Amino acid sequence: MKQPHLDILAFGAHPDDVELSMGGTIISLVEKGFKVGIIDLTQGELSSRGTIETRKKETEKASKILGIHHRENLKLKDGEVQVDKNSILKVVELIRKFRPKIVFAPYFVDRHPDHENSAQLIKEAVFFSGLRNFHTKNKFEPYRPHKIFYFMQTYPFEPTFIYDISPYFELKMEAVLAYSSQFYNPKSKEPETFISRPEFLNYLKARAEFYGFQIGKQYGEPFYCEEKIEFDFSLYLK
């Protein structure tokens, strides 16, 4: 069964998770000519602000800003992301369908249970997607991506590497703010949340500056890999 392949597939537990954590990286990779897709595991229906329909429209707007090649929502239950057979099967089918070389997932220690469970779900699905005798409804060929890279959400970690997003930070923030229902609006009458506080966007910028500083750049996004990754001297011998 022939399907269009993607170079990179990023999984987020909720719409806006990928934009917040690695939007600059996504924009950079698209600009470099890579085919990039995003899978939102839930519709974010438990959010205190906005509606499913509102977030769907915001996701479409953000996706256009990012320039990605594919996006879909798996429609798992928000607040109930589980590492179960049904969820693993759904993710395995997507991995086999799009055959990405690299998968991005939420870091596995976080304040939100869905983020932690999503990390384990993606990790297990990546493994099982490579097993010939792990059968799914659609008959895609077994396939396993080369690497899983985890992106930072709430809790910090010691990065395996930091990606320079200096030329793309403003566009990243434009994609983030496409989710206008979720962030600070002095006219909003909806409940205040962790990310709708006025200081949250300042925090987001400060974190990008902090990690950018560590690599001598203006802005950076941190990533973690459980495996060792190959070093390329050509980066410093240009």
Domain chopping of the chain, boundaries: 8-235
Tokens of 55: 């977030």
Measured in degrees and rounded to the nearest 5, phi and psi for residue 109 equal -125, 115
**Residues 96-147: pLDDT tens digits?**
999 999 999 999 999 999 999 999 999 999 999 999 999 999 889 999 999 9
Give the DSSP letter string of 19-42. HHHHHHHHHHHHHTT--EEEEEEE
- Is the pLDDT at 1 greater than 50, yes or no? no
Q: How far apart are CA 81 and CA 71, in angstroms?
A: 19
Q: How far apart are CA 204 and CA 207, in angstroms?
A: 5
- Is the pLDDT at 40 greater than 50, yes or no? yes
Tell me which residue of 160, 153, 168 sits closest to 207, measured CA to CA. 153
Are the C-beta atoms of 168 and 27 separated by less than 8 Å?
Answer: yes
Q: How far apart are CA 163 and CA 220, in angstroms?
A: 5
Q: How far apart are CA 199 and CA 79, in angstroms?
A: 25
**148 bridge partner residues:** 103
Q: How far apart are CA 88 and CA 204, in angstroms?
A: 31
Q: How many CA atoms within 13 Å lie on the side-chain side of 57?
A: 7
**Residues 179-224: pLDDT tens digits?**
988 888 887 878 888 888 989 999 999 999 999 999 999 999 999 9
- 8-235 topology per CATH: Rossmann fold (3.40.50)
Tokens of 175: 């994609």
Measured in degrees and rounded to the nearest 5, phi and psi for residue 9 equal -130, 120
Q: How confident is the model at residue 3 (pLDDT cuts 50, 70, 90)?
A: low
What is the model's pTM? 0.94
